[in-house]
Amino acid sequence: MNPMKVGLLGLGVVGGGTWNVLSRNAEEIARRAGRRIDITRIAVRDVAKARARLGDAVALSDQATDVVRDPEVDIVVELIGGIEPARTLVLEAISNGKHIVTANKALLAKHGNEIFAAASAQGVMVAFEAAVAGGIPIIKAIREGLTANRIQWVAGIINGTTNYILSEMRSRGMSFGDALAEAQRLGYAEADPTFDVEGVDAAHKLTLLASMAFGVPVQFSKAHIEGISSLASEDIALAERLGYRIKLLGITKQRPDGIELRVHPALVPNDRLLANVEGAMNAVMVSGDAVGPTLYYGQGAGEEPTASAVVADLVDVTRLHTADPGNRVPHLGFQPDAMSDMPILPIEQVITSYYLRLSVDDQPGVLADLARLLADLRISIGSMIQEPSGDAAADIIFITHEAREGDVDQAIARIESLAFVRSKVTRLRIENLA
Ligand code: HSE
């Protein structure tokens, strides 16, 4: 059978890894796919550099349109990243009848609905395993392996940079800045590291996971996003004393009234597997009504782990491209005409437990007033610690039972207006992942 012909947009870290894995494992891959998969054309910025690396085996161009318009190319692999020109190129490739493989989570989180609709209309596939958690086959797991289940929730460490930073801050007492510089040196961070540290990269990935878990359109703009840049090392240490580790989690939950979609640092009990995912590793928990909780772990970034996902998509597309489009796995795992309009809930409606830390005057009645204030807002205290902090002050930490975020917002506003309260209230959410 003729080889499947692939055009690559970009020969950076993931593009280079894809070339290497496809070349090294060509025979094994052909045995699995039923035919060879060959990269026949690549668009790169620096053609001379790419030529020196790859030799004459492949057509090179500095024009991406040469790839998306090449009539010989069956599959376009988009590894440019970002929104434009990636969006325009992907849409043009689709309208030229090419299948797409992409690692571009930002593009799909923002324009996935448009891109999937265009692909369905053209009868082509858009495969994006590499867009979420790198080498972990989490998309395959949710869309196919767990397809029998009503998914209840997904919670994951889906940004390696922030997990690396948090791990180094906790275990080696490194500062945020030093740990970030080290993560960048190791190649984990996005080109713009604010996407990593502010939770945006994780929210792109979570948006896609939520759509596949619950069959709702992609709705990045409704995700609640908090990063780790303002996290105090004091809270990392205190959490540890209380039996928790702080992780940047992406969490999406289906409730009767809607879907929670949120990325933020969270205290996770340290006996949970997720709490022990350290360094740049990623892990995703998915809980289904039939299967119960499941956990997927692996490298979420890097040259060959991400290439592993890209090449798996190339094999999938190669196997399925002659199938009737109506019988392929739908892009988001649910048939496009069976998507749900279940709303994404605003953060004020989220229900979880909280860690609240504040500094107060150490005097009679303070605790009683705080407890009353919380009780008036239906917030139940699970445990608390109080420690003198000098200068007739004390630090107080409350761990609450489950409460509504909107009630906690009100409690914080009222607490901060009290005369005996000396600090802002630090609020972190707790996820028990039970
Ligand atoms: N910058 C991402 C991370 C890698 O740190 O996980 C690719 O998504």
Residue 434 Cα to ligand 1 midpoint, Å, equals: 27
Q: In the structure, which protein residues have their CB atom closer than 6 angstroms to any atom of ligand 1?
A: 159-161, 188-190, 196, 201, 300-301
Residues 246, 145 share a domain: yes
Mutate to test the pocket of ligand 1, among 104, 161, 263 (most ligand atoms within 8 A of CB): 161
The H or E element containing residue 423 is none
> What positions carry a catalytic annotation?
205
Residues 119, 174 share a domain: no
Cβ neighbourhood burial of 2 (10 Å; 0-12, 13-18, 19+): exposed
Residue 280 Cα to ligand 1 midpoint, Å, equals: 9
pTM over 0.85: yes
User: What's the CATH code of the domain at 105?
Assistant: 3.40.50.720
pLDDT, one tens digit per residue, over 164-178 is 999 999 999 998 999
Mutate to test the pocket of ligand 1, among 14, 159, 180 (most ligand atoms within 8 A of CB): 159
299 with 280: CB under 8 angstroms?
Answer: yes
User: What's the CATH code of the domain at 142?
Assistant: 3.30.360.10
Strands 99-102 and 126-127, sheet pairing? parallel
Mutate to test the pocket of ligand 1, among 162, 201, 282 (most ligand atoms within 8 A of CB): 201
Residues 67, 96 share a domain: yes
Boundary-marking domain end, from 315, 338, 361: 338
Residue 58 Cα to ligand 1 midpoint, Å, equals: 29
- Which residues have C-beta within 8 Å of that of residue 87, sequence separation ≥ 6? 107, 111, 115
Residues 295, 146 share a domain: yes
Residue 204's domain comprises 138-299
Residues 146, 294 share a domain: yes
Give me the number of domains the chain comprises.
Answer: 3
Report the residue count for the chain: 434
Residues 318, 283 share a domain: no
Which atom of ligand 1 is closest in space to residue 306's alpha carbon?
Answer: 7
Residue 79 Cα to ligand 1 midpoint, Å, equals: 14
Residue from 318, 210, 225, 217 nearest 263 by CA: 225
Residues 293, 151 share a domain: yes
Which atom of ligand 1 is closest in space to residue 183's alpha carbon?
Answer: 5
pLDDT < 50 positions in the chain: none
The H or E element containing residue 245 is strand 244-255
Q: Whose CA is nearest to atom 7 of ligand 1?
A: 301
Q: Dig out the tokens for 278 from the structure.
A: 């350290």
Would you state the pLDDT for residue 79?
97
Residues 315, 205 share a domain: no
Find residue 381's DSSP bridge partners: 400
What phi-psi label fits residue 433: left (phi over 0), alpha (psi between -120 and 50 degrees) or beta? Answer: left
Residue 189 Cα to ligand 1 midpoint, Å, equals: 6
Residues 165, 123 share a domain: no
Which atom of ligand 1 is closest in space to residue 190's alpha carbon?
Answer: 1
